[in-house]
Structure 1
Amino acid sequence: MTIALVFLPSLLLAPPALAAITIPYDPAADLRQIAKTYLGDADLWPSILKASGVDRITDLLPGQGLTVPTTEVAAARTALDSSNARIQDANAAGAQVFAFDEIDKAIRLHDDALTEQKAGEWRKTLELAVAAEGLASKAYALAEKNRDQAAEARLSDRQGWVEGQRPEELGWEDREINAVLIEEEKVRTLSRSTAQITFRDTGRLRLNANSHAVIQRMRVDPLKKREDAKVSLVEGDFYALLGGDSDRKTLQVDVPDVNAQIDSGDFWVRQDVSGAKFTNYDDRRVEIAARGDRVDLGRNEGVVIRSGEAPRKKVELLSSPDLLAPADDGEVYNRMADLSWSPVKDAAGYWLEVARDANFNHMVDSVSALPDTAFTLKNLDTGIYYWRISALDQFGLPGPRSLSHRFDMRIDNAPPYLRLDAPVSSDIYREASVEVRGESEPGAHVSVNGAAATVDELGHYTLTVPLKPGMNMLTVLSRDAAGNETKVAREVVHMPDATAKITFNAAIPRLSARHFVANGSEISLSGLTEKNAKLQVLGADGGIRASASTDGDGAFAFTLPLSADESDFQVNVTSASGFSSRDNFMVSIDRDPPTIDLDMPLPRLTSTEFLALRGTVTDSQTVKLNGRVIPLKDTRFDEVITLKEGENTIEMSAGDLAGNVTVETWTVTLDQSPPSYVSHTIKPGSGGRVTVEVKAEDASGLAKAAPFTLLSNGTEVDGFLRYNKLSRSYRGAVAVASADISGVRLAGIELQDDAGNRIRVRLK
């Protein structure tokens, strides 16, 4: 006996007349609370306005009747749940293959119903959901009837460009979704394209980008509901999920030079010029044989077979990442979704898959070799999306896919509800802060002048905001999850009765915080205090000595005349509110510059390049030596100056707090070059004596005497020559043993300059 099961919609195909309730509008009532009480969802308050024929909440009048579509909403929700269950039953029975048009229309009607639900069109939602359930029931019946027919497969999904070629066709032709695929048919995908081949038992292969496969064999045993298939992978990669109601859980994969016998129901294979790669995600085996060796892959294991080689050692696949954002069942907006996931140790890349269904039968995008743990999807239509990630190891083997997450892409252009209850702009606030409070849409982010406010589950927000004296602008911004914004601005005045704080410019010379010093008959003072205030400076006798006004930043400046060496002053600050406060300060006059005393006078001329400079400086704040600040220890300084050849100018300056400055300058000449011998003459004199004259040169001056040695016929005669400034030479008379000067010559002379540099000149 054959029993046919036919599912009928739980609701009538023609929607019933739906009732609603009417309640009078009370301005004190919360419309969101009404929606939660009668419709079970506070966010459905716009549906009450729509059912009541009102565009905005501000158009409601006290006592006006509010129409609450209670039965309409409940019926629509029930119909959505029932149609979704019917669609799932039909898919489980094989409707994607054997009743594709009917189940595809049912799914589209169900999606349209969801869209109408978001728009608050409850009657349209009910009509579409009822129609979807009817088509899903029809698809179920057709699938049950046709499951035992010819062994065909269908191109159940395509993304990008997919082509096919049957044995009788001469070239490649575009293959549309739901195209029937037969034995010996070739299928290929191009760049950024994928294709899903679904068999009769709902087992499926997903060809990834730039792949080429041949369906070599498809056979079915109607009695045992057993299907055998063989697929030849020419190039590229695919993964397989072999499920369904039949007993077949095997698929033979033909790869060049590799024999693969696969019992697994979840595996991946790749073939290119470098060789083949296999991974297994199932407890059942994947048997790989090549070049006389064999490898059996268990769950989450993979292997690489280089072209012309035996299989390498199998490896453990990387673990799956954790999906981070958006949160599962989260909402995203503006047709763009930012995806992120946790990193996996040793991962060389990641593989992202995005689909419109939980089983990934309708692929939206498939991107491999992603280098980072984030990716942005763009130009998405509204609706539900599912996504998952696999980690790729160094061999390019994908690990097990992560658990999938789903998100809802919404188009929301409605600004959030926002109300500002306090503060009130007409009040004047004496305190330095004020509490801002009001109500916004629950779940919205509320900020005041950029600072985040605390928002409770009902949308009430609070934030204490600091105030500055004078006018303050408070801008309250509410931003919902879709990025829509509502802004409310309010001005409040803060007028504190507080003592004005005066801060004088730190650059003003001072002996203490309120004791300034000057070197003349006036001093310029500046600083900060209350903005837009009036300042008056009073002398010890109470007379006004100076006055000034502060600008919008509180800055002031004035010049104060001085009549005594030390004077006390009082400054009065009157704020814009009229509140007056006082402060005091003192000014001393110092006209005496610091003194600089050296322990020893500096030499005019020296042959030593290092010059010690020691001494004391009194009443000085800053001392500089040749422009460089030098330290003092108990008013003393001890510095060493490196001289350069020639004239060196040394300048020391000392300045005090009042600005008085003393400058001392010295000139020291460094001469490290000895004198230069130029020439000499020996002339006979009277009484057995000879006259010796030696000419020499030196930039700093020559010494007054020069020791010399004279050879007279083999006998040495020593003596001194005296320097003659007029002739610029050394001269002297020497007694010799013989009047014959032919045997007399100058053997050597020692020259010295005024700096102390010496040279011994030996003459032949």
Structure 2
Amino acid sequence: MIKQIFFVLMIFHGVLLFGQSEIKVVVKSGETVRDIAREHLKDPDLWEEILRSNNLKSPEQVKPGMTLVIPVESILKAKNQISKALKAINDATEAGAKTFAAQSINTAIELYNEALAERKAGNWKKSFDKAVLAEKQAGEAKKLAESKSKTTSDATVASGKGKIESKKPADPLWKDAPVRSKLFENDRLRTLSNSFAEILFQDNSKIKLSENSQLVIQKARVDLLQNKSESEVKLEKGNAFAFLSGKSPKKDFKVSVPGAETEVNSKAFFLKKEEKSTKIANYDGEIALKGKGKSVVVKENQGSTVSDNGSVSDPKNLLPSPGIKFPENNAKYLADTISFAWNPVTGARRYWFQLATDKDFNNPVFTSKTLTVTSYKLTLEPGVYYWQVSAEDADGFPGPYTKPSVLFVESKTTYAYLTIQSPQNETVTDKDEILVTGATDLANTIEINSNKVDVDPNTGSFSLPVKLTKGNNSIVVKAVNPNGGENSVTLRIKYEVDSVIALQFDPSLLKDMSGSYIIPSSEFVLRGTTNASAQVLLRSTVQNYHLKTFSNENGEFTFTLQKFTRADSFYTTIVSRSGHRSVFADRFVLDDVQPVITLSSEPPQFTNKKMLEITGSCNNVRTIEVASGEAVINGETFSYRTELRPGQNQIDLTAVAPNGRTMVIRRNIYLDLEAPVLGAYNMTPLKVPADRYITVTIAATDISGLKRTAKLIYSAGEDVFSETLLYNDAAGMYQGRFLVRAKTNTDLILRSVLLEDYFGNFKEYKLK
């Protein structure tokens, strides 16, 4: 009989727990309020909620025999909804929301964090409402990401701080790279002092680039039809953390290291490019390194150094993570100076410390890589913070970071509850008035742009139409509670009256006679400009292209056209931020034929004629460009006349096809108007008796070639003689041997020599 009664009571208790909004618990002897929270709420730290529900101020007021009321159903509803919100955020992230719907997914994450904060504060209804909004926002982010997943962007500057710059291969200078900038194959990205950047790839892999660092995207390719991605990066300077989404047949992410081949089977690792080497610290899986005559495998929590000349060091174990001392995870503090401390690690040269307002550390508050102590103090404003620490060894390898710890910093005055329902921040509208709605606690007062607004005494909701001026508008909504605690939200709203939408494709894109754009290859990157932050949709009539992207803050956008056929018509739809829509129709044709020019005859390498004429035939040529203008084209022939300058002349004929492709013919022609130059000369002997032979040598140079003979004048006493010298190719000079027919033994004197080249340029040199 006793067993039956006990069984009935247990059933009744279960009905109260899951069927009613509250349960009643009688405190047993020796039982604490934490014990009751552990048993009925599955969390001993929720003991404050039990006190609050029973109007108790301290645990000492809980006595044996006392009946406590616990709102179990509200707690369970909030917990279940938070789990749903987390699942929705994870689903959206897997769908690529951080790349294609960054603003929406970040809003969902913020709402989720707010739901967690409300849960910790015991505000279960508010926690439930925040989690519902987070789940809804994550669902919208997932839909947006799925609709934009066919965008042609290869990588995105997802977040960053400070000075971030990018450079394309053909650009002479670096340019600013704001957040949401797109990066393509062979683009470079760098950070300057006190700056960082996070690059997000389409497979959700990301690279965090530290300050004073630089990398190049060596490969970034996407096969949209088969949903395959292939990426490869190279760190050229500084250091970076890599967080990869994993390797699969659908995606391949590679890291290029000078001096070694790499095979990455890791999801988390660190790179540091030094002057002549690269340090690699691995925190997951394995990284295979193959250098000159040596291969190693860097396993989890190991590091290795690769020299640029190919030598690879043996892997060494990294230092372990420091143990967190305080603040503990989920600790709560009032806004003030807060001390952070961790356990020392044997062998640590220094410690890396990070504090941010998000768990991915994309919004840093304080960062240091030079701490030699195991504690640090910071003064923090109210908010939610995350922090982590790593130990660096004597060789400069950072060990794994501690698991991020969350810290709640609350205001010394009570925080006034405020939520804005509409409009969303950064809204663009074509109306001159916008309705601001929201909700607050019943006892709070609300001001919108310093104007007091009535709060509904039953629901806490409020609303006020606000007039807008053209351009950017700021709307400040402030809530104040009876204790003086404040909370304000600033909305940035843009009022756009002008509905004009412009579209311009890359000015370097040529057109044919019919006005159609000429595509130079079957795979082509189409670039253009339109309104800033507008949605751009590209649809073709032949190949059934349906591509979508968004223009950046400068109005720039890109599409990658693959397997383009001979001709197609495109309809480009532009939807501005204010909702205005325009459709543009353009025709594109493929012309990948090279221009061809052929010379009728080769021009001379040397000439003494100032005017030069070059003729020839041409095919698929629009213009033939030269330094002084253009050649004359007549059908399939061309001619070009130019006046040569004395000396070397470089003639470049650049044939340009209608599609912009080029062919260059270069010829070098020397205009020789100068006489030969006299060099050293000699005569032996200088004095001979009558009827004896003498030998004369004279060196000379000329760019176009010397004449085979030279006229020599010499004298013997009062007698003057003329002789002919012959040019000796082997000796490189004029030579002659003559019989002197002087009357007596006398001195011989060289008087002059006449030098001449093949073009008739001559000069008589007086000899001494």
The two structures have a TM-score, normalised by structure 1, of 0.42
Q: Name which one, 1 or 2, has greater alpha-carbon Rg.
A: 1
